[in-house]
């Protein structure tokens, strides 16, 4: 069986935040409630935005930015009524400057009666986003691959040996007339793991 090699050479990692965070930043009577969330898809983003709009229904602005994908190649910034590029872009800028992805940052503003001006708005939203990240914890995650395998009982030992050697995660398993498992592992091991599984006699494999 092939050697695992140096895992530090795998280009399948990215940085995100561990949990949700929130706080309050004030500038000249305006209140900026900031939030950050780890997210995996746009559905999760929509859910968080809807919950905040319901909770802070009387706020004037719900500005946000998000990024998805290992290389943060999916992203969006929204000013929600603030002057163009004064809110969403500064928030997105903080996401990028921290090399984060799979993250949503929302800043909810209650206007305090004093206009901040373009520069003041940019600084307020930039600071709020930075504080949302600071209040959280940045972690390194790995892009994962999932496969489904079906195999007869006689090769169970070969499968379990492979799972143990490479510390594969068993997502589910079902033992009926034959055996079926769903496994998960880091993308950097994809070629090695799939080729090793395919060497096991009578095993059928499907990438999920």
| Lookup: tokens for 51 | 């919950």
- Per-residue pLDDT, 121: 97
- Per-residue pLDDT, 11: 78
Residue 158 lies inside a defined structural domain of this protein:
yes
Cα distance between residue 59 and residue 76, in whole Å = 21
For residues 20 and 110, state if they share a domain.
Answer: yes
- Per-residue pLDDT, 56: 97
Cα distance between residue 109 and residue 24, in whole Å = 10
What total number of domains does the chain contain?
A: 2
| Lookup: tokens for 158 | 């070969």
pLDDT in tens, 52-76: 999 999 999 999 999 999 899 999 9
pTM of the predicted protein model: 0.79
75: phi then psi, degrees, rounded to nearest 5: -160, 165
Cα distance between residue 124 and residue 20, in whole Å = 20
Kind and range of the H or E run holding 156: helix 156-165
Find the mean pLDDT for residues 35-61.
97
Side-chain half-sphere CA neighbours of 128 within 13 A:
35
Cα distance between residue 66 and residue 42, in whole Å = 9
**Residue after which a domain boundary falls, among 81, 107, 140:** 140
Q: What percent of the chain has pLDDT over 70?
A: 95
For residues 195 and 169, state if they share a domain.
Answer: yes
pLDDT at 3 over 60: no
Q: Return mean pLDDT, the chain.
A: 92
- Per-residue pLDDT, 166: 92
pLDDT in tens, 141-197: 988 889 999 999 999 999 999 999 999 999 999 988 889 999 999 988 999 999 999
For residues 127 and 191, state if they share a domain.
Answer: no
When pLDDT is cut at 50, 70 and 90, the band that residue 2 belongs to is: very low
When pLDDT is cut at 50, 70 and 90, the band that residue 99 belongs to is: very high
Residue 164 lies inside a defined structural domain of this protein:
yes
User: Which conformational region is residue 102 in: left (phi greater than 0), alpha (psi within -120 to 50 degrees), or beta?
Assistant: left
For residues 25 and 40, state if they share a domain.
Answer: yes
User: Are 183 and 190 contacting, i.e. CB atoms less than 8 angstroms apart?
Assistant: no
């Amino acid at each position: 069986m092939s050697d695992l090699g140096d895992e530090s050479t795998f280009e399948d990692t990215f940085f995100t935040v561990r949990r949700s965070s929130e706080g309050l930043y004030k500038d000249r009577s305006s209140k900026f409630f900031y939030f950050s969330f780890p997210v995996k898809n746009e559905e999760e983003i929509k859910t968080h935005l809807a919950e905040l709009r319901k909770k802070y229904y009387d706020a004037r602005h719900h500005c946000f930015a998000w990024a998805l994908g290992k290389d943060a190649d999916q992203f969006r910034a929204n000013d929600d009524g603030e002057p163009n590029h004064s809110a969403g872009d500064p928030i997105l800028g903080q996401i990028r400057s921290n090399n984060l992805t799979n993250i949503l940052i929302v800043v909810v503003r209650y206007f305090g009666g004093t206009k901040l001006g373009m520069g003041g708005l940019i600084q307020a939203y930039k600071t709020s986003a930075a504080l949302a990240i600071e209040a959280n914890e940045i972690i390194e995650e790995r892009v994962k691959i999932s496969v489904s395998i079906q195999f007869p009982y006689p090769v169970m030992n070969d499968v379990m040996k492979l799972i143990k050697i490479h510390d594969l995660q068993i997502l589910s398993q079902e033992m009926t007339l034959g055996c079926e498992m769903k496994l998960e592992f880091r993308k950097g091991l994809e070629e090695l793991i799939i080729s090793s599984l395919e060497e096991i006699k009578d095993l059928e494999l499907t990438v999920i």
